[in-house]
Amino acid sequence: MREVLLDEFKKVYGDNDGVRTYFAPGRVNMIGEHTDYNGGHVFPCALTIGTYAAVRKNKDKLLRFYSMNFESLGIINVSLGNLKYDEKDEWTNYPKGVIWALEEKGYKVEEGVDILYFGNIPNGSGLSSSASIEVLTGYIINDLFDFGIDLVSIALLSQKAENDFVGVNSGIMDQFAIAMGKKDHAIFLDTSDLSYEYAPLKLKDAKIVIAASNKKRRLADSKYNERRSECETALRDLKEVVDIKSLGDLTIEEFEEYKHHIKDDIHRQRAKHAVYENQRTIKAVRELKNNNISEFGKLMNESHVSLRDDYEVTGIELDTLVEAAWKQEGVIGSRMTGAGFGGCTVSIVKEDKIDAFIEKVGQEYKDKIGYAADFYVVDIGDGPKEI
């Protein structure tokens, strides 16, 4: 891949003298969905697919961005003195936002940079291509300018870019999972205080299979912000009667005791998902540590039902993929993953059944939805690095 990046950099920028190359992964969340902005637990892992970049400093005080995935857009130039969100700058608002967030924290980027990106994360799949490019950019700028920022801080700065620059009110999970990824491990993260531990994801004779619905996720950002607002309103109602900082502070028993104080029925449903999903995630990791992968799979299935019925973020595409998966031989568990409204499902499937799984689920999806899903058998990888 390094040679491909260097060749392409030379074509785009004229030569490749002094160019360095980097990689940051995508991520998939195994369980714990829409809990990260509710102070709950999540259980994501970094993937071996992700975003690559070739980069060098320039003397022009210009940020030059080019993506092999959006060749028709050409080089997009941004002045270091003009780091503002601009819709016409399209995808570059993500890396631009990270440099803005660094400068907001006092890390001054004094020289321009030429960057070429290439991602092999399926676009709009829900595997966090945006967080991948954010963390990659933060890692690169930190390395090029010797800022000495640790990986957790790079994750937080990347989240700030997405929240305050791009305007998507996301939690910390995506950026944290990408920055802190560890091969063959998932990260059990408490989003209330960023305490975490690595848990080996030993799947024995099974693999993770991701199915991309290929639905255009037009609603994802606005509905995501809407769900977050609904949970915040529910939390405000609960705070009047119980001393909590977040929905993640509640046990299931406590929620059941106090839930009638949530004034709106829909908000009560949303809060129920946040509380139950958090407890499900804690239990799932415990089962995994006891090598009880079948119980882990059942909890994945329960997670999907809650996201479908209480949180209402699945939709016909994701439900079709998951319900088809549940019927297949060798499937340990399957659920939607990511924000929802399109994107992906994640399944744990016995290795000797993967081909049949892809064929049968793919056929059922195409018959019902009218277009094909794409399937990826993925491995768990490390966080960002220079290559």
> Residues 40, 188: one domain?
yes
> Residues 153, 167: one domain?
yes
CATH code where residue 276 lies: 3.30.70.890
Provide the pLDDT for residue 204. Answer: 83
> Residues 242, 195: one domain?
no
Residue 106 lies in a domain: yes
> Residues 259, 189: one domain?
no
Give the distance, in angstroms, between the CA of residue 54 and the centroid of all CA atoms in the same chain: 23
> Residues 169, 191: one domain?
yes
Show the domain range for 71.
Answer: 2-200
Instruction: Mark whether 174 is an active-site residue.
Output: yes
pLDDT tens digits for range 7-38: 999 999 999 999 999 999 999 999 999 999 99
The β-bridge relationship of strands 62-67 and 112-119 is parallel
Residue 385 lies in a domain: no
Quote the tokens at residue 110: 């004094």
Provide the pLDDT for residue 119. Answer: 95
Q: Strands (DSSP E) along the chain, which ranges? A: 20-29, 41-42, 44-58, 62-67, 76-79, 112-119, 185-190, 195-200, 206-212, 331-337, 344-350, 374-378, 385-386
> Residues 154, 295: one domain?
no
Provide the pLDDT for residue 219. Answer: 54
Residue 15 lies in a domain: yes
- Residues in CB range of 300: below 8 A, 6 or more apart: 30, 31, 284, 332, 333, 334, 335, 346, 348
Residue at which a domain ends, from 200, 228, 260: 200
> Residues 265, 303: one domain?
yes
Which of 36, 114, 174, 310 is flagged as catalytic? 174
Residue 386 lies in a domain: no
Residue 387 lies in a domain: no
| Domain tally, the chain | 2
Residue at which a domain ends, from 175, 200, 225: 200
The β-bridge relationship of strands 206-212 and 374-378 is antiparallel
pLDDT tens digits for range 93-133: 999 999 999 999 999 999 999 999 999 987 666 677 899 99
| pLDDT-above-90 percentage for the chain | 88
Provide the pLDDT for residue 281. Answer: 98
> Residues 121, 267: one domain?
no
Half-sphere exposure of 133 (CA within 13 A, CB side): 23
> Residues 268, 367: one domain?
yes
> Residues 177, 221: one domain?
no
370 phi/psi in degrees, rounded to 5: 105, -10
Residue 14 lies in a domain: yes
> Residues 147, 210: one domain?
no
Residue at which a domain ends, from 200, 222, 248: 200
Q: Distance between CA 197 and CA 145 in Å, rounded?
A: 30
Ramachandran region of residue 54, left (φ > 0), alpha (ψ -120 to 50) or beta? beta
Residue 383 lies in a domain: no
> Residues 243, 365: one domain?
yes
CATH code where residue 70 lies: 3.30.230.10
Residue 363 lies in a domain: yes
Helix (H) or strand (E) holding 81: none
All residue ranges of the chain with pLDDT < 70 are 123-126, 217-221
